[in-house]
Amino acid sequence: MGTELLATYAIPRRGDWRRRADEMAVGMTVGSWTDLPALEQERLAQFLGRVRRCEPISEDWAHVAIAYPAANLPPQLSSVLTVAFGKLSLDGAIRLVGLSLPDSWSEALPGPRHGAGGVRERLGIPQRPLLLSIFKSENGRTLPEFVEALRQQWAGGADLVKDDEIFFADRGAPLGDRVRAARDLAASLAARSGRPAPLYAANLTASGDRVVDQAARALAAGAEAFLVSPYAVGLDTLTALSRLEPHPILLAHPAFAGAFINAPGYGVAASVALGLLVRAAGADVGIFPSPYGSVALPRDDALAVGRALAGPDARHPALPAPAAGLHPGLVSRLVADFGLDVVINAGGAIHGHPGGTQAGARAFRAAIDRLSNPDGPVSPELLAAWEKWGEGSR
């Protein structure tokens, strides 16, 4: 944190790379500097970018940190992308590897409205990892089928259930109907158990400019949580969602982010794209590829995303939700990586459990419960999961 927008880039140590750093700082703020008359310089100094750090990090690469005065842009993340990585992104091999927002933005961009604490309070679960189950094959589903699939996931012990992010073909079970049906089902479960109701996160399907209106209507129908893909609809749209009242619980999906986090030397570090930026935009839960499973992030990158979601001072953390290819045997490893404030995000190993969806959720919950009682008996569902996907390691 500081008074400036501080962006750190990895650039190749080729040619006069230190001069390139100076040109970046000047070019993206005041355009030119040394040719300017003294009077102009005096007036424009408040907008001038400055190189704060410039050091080799390997044989081939250097890190360059540039400070952009907060006066240069409004507190909104689209403008951060435009100023800090707009034209620069096009400038050959360059990667945005770090970002810190000006202090003065903390009111406009307070981050998660619920965060780890708020989500736990709503669910009445103070400490253990949370289980987030994903619908599978939702396209074309009818409302009764949706309700039955939701019931199975919740009955098995999923704390949150979310739509698939590609679920747009919802004529058979439109968003408003899903929200109302989920609300009723949750209420009946809560009445029976005497515990707070589980959560359903509906996928927002409107076009980027109408997502906020769609969410407001769903909130009025009783929605509490949404799934949104900020790199498809825009980071500012996520921010606008976080400003709705009552604040929805927001799950940010990493859709499209692979286009710019995966290539070495280009794009944006995962910790910035899926950590810092989605947290600043107001996500309460940040979904990202876990270090394990099918679609994977390198472990160091995934850990850095987790740290970035927790925030610079760990006071109002968003919850990290590593995802893709997870099974119950990986739960203890995920907790070792991300701590207890983690959301275990699973789909395939829930619906693909030999005993079906409900058993699949139970197996995950059993793996979570074993964290505090590692020598207790192994439930049959967990055993079946271990047999299918492996026991993992502690």
**165 forms part of the interface with a second copy (CB under 8 A):** yes
Give least dist CB 383 to a second copy, A: 23
- Applying CB under 8 A, which of residues 8, 133, 214, 229 lies at the interface with a second copy? 229
Q: 94 or 173, CB closer to a second copy? A: 94
Q: Which two tokens stand for residue 294?
A: 């099918």
Q: How far apart are the first and last CA of the chain?
A: 36
Q: For the residues of 184-235, what is the DSSP string, one character each? A: HHHHHHHHHHSSPPPEEEEEP-S-TTTHHHHHHHHHHTT--EEEE-HHHH-H
Q: 23 or 391, CB closer to a second copy? A: 23
- Applying CB under 8 A, which of residues 1, 2, 42, 47 lies at the interface with a second copy? 47
On whether the CB atoms of residues 130 and 345 are closer than 8 A, the answer is: no
Residue 194, phi then psi, degrees to nearest 5:
70, 10
Q: 112 or 254, CB closer to a second copy? A: 254
d(CA 289, CA 310): 16
Residues in contact with 27: Cβ distance below 8 Å, sequence separation at least 6, in sequence order: 87
Residue 57's Cβ-count burial label (10 Å; 0-12, 13-18, 19+) is exposed
**233 forms part of the interface with a second copy (CB under 8 A):** yes
Restricted to residues 87-106, the positions that interact with a second copy (CB under 8 A) are 87-94, 96
Give least dist CB 194 to a second copy, A: 35
Active-site residue identified among 87, 136, 162, 388: 87
The 302-331 contact track toward a second copy, x by CB under 8 A, reads: ----------------------x-------
Q: For the residues of 112-170, what is the DSSP string, one character each? A: -SSHHHHHHHHHT--SSPEEEEE--S-TT--HHHHHHHHHHHHHTT-SEEE--TT----
The 325-364 contact track toward a second copy, x by CB under 8 A, reads: ----------------------------------------
Restricted to residues 258-297, the positions that interact with a second copy (CB under 8 A) are 258-263, 265-268, 289, 294-295
Give least dist CB 111 to a second copy, A: 16
Helical residues (DSSP H) of the chain, grouped into ranges:
17-27, 38-44, 77-85, 115-123, 143-155, 175-193, 211-220, 230-233, 235-242, 258-261, 270, 277-281, 299-310, 331-338, 348-351, 357-370, 380-389
Q: 186 or 346, CB closer to a second copy? A: 346
Give least dist CB 244 to a second copy, A: 11
| The one-letter amino acid at 204 | L
Give least dist CB 346 to a second copy, A: 14
Q: Which two tokens stand for residue 101?
A: 């927002």
**214 forms part of the interface with a second copy (CB under 8 A):** no
**244 forms part of the interface with a second copy (CB under 8 A):** no
Mode of pairing for the β-strands spanning 50-56 and 61-69? antiparallel
The 112-151 contact track toward a second copy, x by CB under 8 A, reads: ------------------------xx-xx-----------
Residue 190's Cβ-count burial label (10 Å; 0-12, 13-18, 19+) is middle
Mode of pairing for the β-strands spanning 225-228 and 249-252? parallel
**81 forms part of the interface with a second copy (CB under 8 A):** yes
The region of 30-38, 52-60, 187-195, 361-369 touching a second copy under the rule CB under 8 A is: 30-38
87 given a catalytic annotation: yes
Give least dist CB 207 to a second copy, A: 4
**8 forms part of the interface with a second copy (CB under 8 A):** no
Torsion sign, CA atoms 13, 16, 18, 23: negative
**240 forms part of the interface with a second copy (CB under 8 A):** yes
How large is the C-alpha radius of gyration of the chain?
Answer: 23
Q: 47 or 378, CB closer to a second copy? A: 47
Residues touching a second copy: how many (CB under 8 A)? 74
The region of 52-60, 78-86, 193-201, 371-379 touching a second copy under the rule CB under 8 A is: 78-86
Give least dist CB 136 to a second copy, A: 5
The region of 151-159, 180-188, 257-265, 301-309 touching a second copy under the rule CB under 8 A is: 257-265
Q: Which residues are catalytic?
A: 87
